[in-house]
Structure 1
C-alpha cells in the first residue's frame, strides 16, 4: 500500500465527552485546594512581584477573585501582608511584611514553584477519561480531512481508519523518505481539534508540571483582569490534541517523572503529556535503549490503558495511558521485536515507494508551493529516464520536493528564473545523490 496514491470531579462539569470544559470553582475548597496551598502561592508571588492588587494575585493563580478579599484580609490581620494602596472595584494593593517575607522564603525552600494554582490529580484523571480517544470514532470523512495535504490511496485509508479507531498501537514501516512521519503527524487530527489539560497538577503534596509549550500548542492566549472568561477554570488550558514525537534521543528517563531537587518541582513524562493524543516513536530501533526495553516498559500500559509512575518520595501512582502509540521505523517490525509484542501492537502499515505516475504528480503538487510558475514535463521525463530508470534508482516520495528545493536555491543564488530544466536537474541530482 502506498500513501501517495491519489484517492477517489471538584470544579469539573462533564456534560458530554466532546463538550468537556473545566468550570471555575466558587471557592478554594471546591477548587480542591487548602488554605496552606493558597497562602504558599500568594506569598511566593508577592515575594517575587513585590506589590500587587488582589485581582492580579487571583489572575496569577488562575482562580476566581471572589474568595481572595477575605483570605487576604485574614493574612493582613496576621501581619503577613499589608495594604499599600487602594485599587479599583473595592480592591487593594498588597505587599509582604517582614514576617511575610520570612514565611515566603520558607515556602520557597519547600518548593520554588510560583504560578497557576495546581489542579488535584483526581480531577486530571477524570478529565482524561472525559476526553478519551477511545470515545472518538473517526470516519472516512475525518481521515480525508486530516490527510487532505497528502496523497493517500483507498487501501491505505481503510487500514489507517481501522487502526486509528482501535486506539491501540501501530507500526508504520517502510523505506525512508516515503512519508511515515508525515502520516503519523496527521493521525491526531482525526480525533477532534482540542482538549483541556491542567497547567500544573497537585499529587501527594508534589507539584507536577503537565503543560509544556514545547509539546503543546495553546488554542488561545490566557486572559486576565476584566477580560477574563468567567465560564472556565483558568488553571486549565485548551490545547490542540497533542502529537509528541521522540526519535533517537529517547531514553528511559524521558518516560519517568522528572524531579528537580533544587526547585522541588516535578515534570510529567512524555507519555503523560501525550494523553488524549498521539505519541510517535520515530526511527524506532535507533534509540540508545534496546527496542525490547521500551516495549517491556509498556507491556501493561498498552493492554490496560494505564501506567505506573514513581514520585520523588518513592510512592507509585497510577496514571491514565490514553493515547495512540505509533512506532515509525525503516526496519521490518519482526526484526525489532518478537511475536508476543507484535500481538500487542495489532496494526502494521507498510508505506511503500510511490509509482512513477505518483512520483511525477508530486512535482505538480510541490512545484507551485516552491515558486515554480510552470511544470516542465519534458524536464521531469529527462530526470526520470536518466537519473532513475537509467540507473535503477527507486522513487522516494520526498525526492520531488527535495530536488526542486535544490533547483530553487541554485536559481535564487544566481539570480535566475526559478524553472525546471534538464541542466538544473543534473545539478540537483549531483548534489543530492552524491553519497546515496
Structure 2
C-alpha cells in the first residue's frame, strides 16, 4: 500500500539558507527564492545524450503524428530552445519535417516523415516511456544529498502543532520527534489495535520542507521512473511563484514524500522493477521515499521471513546507501536517505539479535490507552458518525464489555464498534443513538462471541448468568 503525503504547517520551501548553500542571514530574508536547478538552455546542459532525447521526442511526436514545438516542450518538460535543437537534428536525419513555421520561434509544427513514423514505432515498441526527459544519476544524487532528511529537525512546539490533536501519552510523541531529529530508525511495537499504524501515518506529517523529485532518471541508457503521483504531492508553487521561474521542469517540487508498505511487501519489491512490456524501470518504494519517511507496517506478517527482510536493510541502515542492478548487469548505488519507521505486533527480541536491534534505533511501545484517553477516542468517533447518547453508555462499554471479557482498552475498538452500530441503525432505519443493546450486538459481531466471562450486565450491575 502506498499513501499520499498530507499538507501540514511545517512544510516549507527550501531556500539557499536551508538547502545546504552558505548564505548570509540578511540575504536569505530578502532574496527571492531561486530554483534548485535552472532550466537547461542547450542539449549539452541537460546532461543527456541527444540520441536519447531524440528518441523521446520521436515517441512524443508519434502520439500526435502532427505536433507543435510547444506540445513537445510540455511533454518532455524542456525549454523550447532545447526542443528546437533536438528537432533540428531529427529534421537533418529526415525523421521529422517542418509542417508550419510562424512568425515566432515557438510557432513551429512538426510532422513525422514515413521513415520517422517507422522509427518512432520501433522505439515505442522497445520502450514506451514518452514523458518528461530524465535527469542524470549524478544530478539525482546531488539533489538527494542537498535535501537530505538528516537536515530535517523538529522541536517540541512543532510536534505539538502537528500532532496536538492526537490522543496519545505525551512521551509517545516526544520520543517520535527525538527519533526524527536523530535520523534514527523508529520501531513501534505493541499489541494489535493499539494504534501503531495510525501513529506511523501521522508521523509523516512531521517531515518539514519541500524537495525536488525527478520524473525519471537515466542510468547506462535505461530509464527509471521515480515520480509517483500516489507518493509525491507537488508543493503549492502559487505560494512562492519565484521558485518556478527559470527552474528545470524535469523536477517537481514536492512535500517530503511518505511511503507506507505493509504485509504485501516482498524482497522483489525492494529492487528495481523492470516492465518487460513497457521497457523501462519503476523505482522501488524506499527509493521513491528518499528525502522523506519510509513506513513498514505489520512487520512480521510479510510472506518473506522477518530475518530475510531485515537483513535486506542492514547495509542501507548502516551505510545510508542501497545498491541496484540493471538487467544489463550494470550496478549502481543510490542514497538510502529516509526516516525508516517500522511497526510490528512482535516483541523486539523476536525480530533479530542485538546487533540488528541496535541498527533499528529507537524502540517505542504503544499499548492500551488510559481510561480518559479511551473516553476521548470514543467520544470523537461518536461525534464523527453523528451518534448521540454515547457518553451515557460509556461505563457499560468499560465494565459490561471490556472488563467482562478481559479486553484491554485498545485505540481501534471504539471507532470499529461505533461504525458497526451506525451501519446497523441505518439498515434498520433506527435513530442515530448508541444504546447498551446496540453496543452488545456490535461487540458480538466484532469479536464473534457474546461479552462476559460468565457474568451478565443488567440494569447497571453485573449478575451471574443462569
With normalisation by structure 2, the TM-score equals: 0.84
Task: Give the secondary-structure state (helix, strand or coil) at the position aligned to 1:319.
Answer: strand
- When structure 1 is superposed on structure 2, of 318-327 and 414-423 the one drifting more is 414-423
Aligned to 1:22, what secondary structure does the other structure show?
A: coil
* Among 375, 400, 414, the residue aligned to 1:400: 414
Is residue 447 of structure 2 the alignment partner of residue 433 of structure 1?
yes
Match of 1:327 in 2: 342
1: CA distance, partners of 2:409 / 2:264: 29
For residues 110-163 of structure 1, what are the alpha-carbon distances to aligned partners after superposition, in whole Å with 9 as ceiling and x for unaligned? Answer: 433211100111111111111111011111122123323311222223321221
Task: Give the corresponding residue for 1:136.
Answer: 152
Deviation at 1:370, TM superposition (A): 1.3
Residue 340 to residue 100, structure 1, CA distance change in 2 (3 Å) = same
- Cα deviation per residue 1:287-323 (whole Å; 9 max; x = unaligned)? 1111111222111110111111111211211110000
- Structure 1: runs of 5 or more not aligned: 1-12, 223-227
Separation of aligned partners in 1, 2:82 and 2:177: 49
Alignment of 1:255-294 (within 5 A): 255-294=270-309
Cα distance in 1 between the residues matched to 2:244 and 2:148: 25
Does residue 113 in structure 1 map to residue 129 in structure 2? Answer: yes
Partner residue of 1:42 out of 57, 60, 68 = 57
Number of equivalences: 418
RMSD (CA atoms): 2.3
Cα separation, 2, equivalents of 1:364 and 1:231: 51
In structure 1, C-alpha distance between the alignment counterparts of 2:17 and 2:135, rounded to whole Å? 20
- Between the aligned partners of 1:214 and 1:423, the Cα distance in structure 2 is 42
Q: 1:58: Cα distance to partner?
A: 1.0
The residue aligned with 1:338 is 353
Supply the distance in 2 between the matched residues of 1:350 and 1:259 (Cα, whole angstroms).
39
Q: CA deviation at 1:105?
A: 3.2
Q: Where in structure 2 are the equivalents of 1:16-35 lying within 5 Å?
A: 16-17=18-19, 21-35=36-50
Q: 1:424 aligns with which of 420, 438, 441?
A: 438
1:53 maps onto 2:55 in alignment: no
User: Tell me, what secondary structure is at the counterpart of 1:388?
Assistant: helix
- 8 Å CA contact 2:215–2:225 kept in 1: the answer is yes
Question: In 2, Cα distance between the equivalents of 1:279 and 1:67?
Answer: 36
* Matches for 1:73-112 after TM superposition, within 5 Å: 73-86=88-101, 89-90=104-105, 91-112=107-128
Worse-superposed segment, 63-72 or 413-422? 63-72
User: CA–CA distance in 2 between the matches of 1:211 and 1:200?
Assistant: 7
> Could you tell me which residue of structure 2 aligns to residue 225 of structure 1?
none
List gaps (5 residues or longer) in structure 2: 1-14, 21-32, 451-466
1:4-403 matches, within 5 Å, as: 16-17=18-19, 21-86=36-101, 89-90=104-105, 91-219=107-235, 230-372=245-387, 374-403=388-417
Aligned position for 1:3:
none
Distance apart, 1:375 and its partner CA: 4.7
Residues 364, 375 of structure 1: 8 Å contact kept: no
**SS of match in other structure, 2:346:** coil
CA shift for structure 1 position 284: 0.7
Q: Secondary structure at the match of 2:80?
A: coil
CA distances 1:354-412 after superposition (whole Å, capped 9, x unpaired): 1222211212222221112x454221112211111233221111111111111211222
Give the counterpart of 2:429 among 415, 423, 431. 415
TM-score by length of 1: 0.90
Structure 1 residues 341 and 207, CA gap change in structure 2 (3 angstroms): same
Give the C-alpha shift of residue 15 in structure 1.
5.9
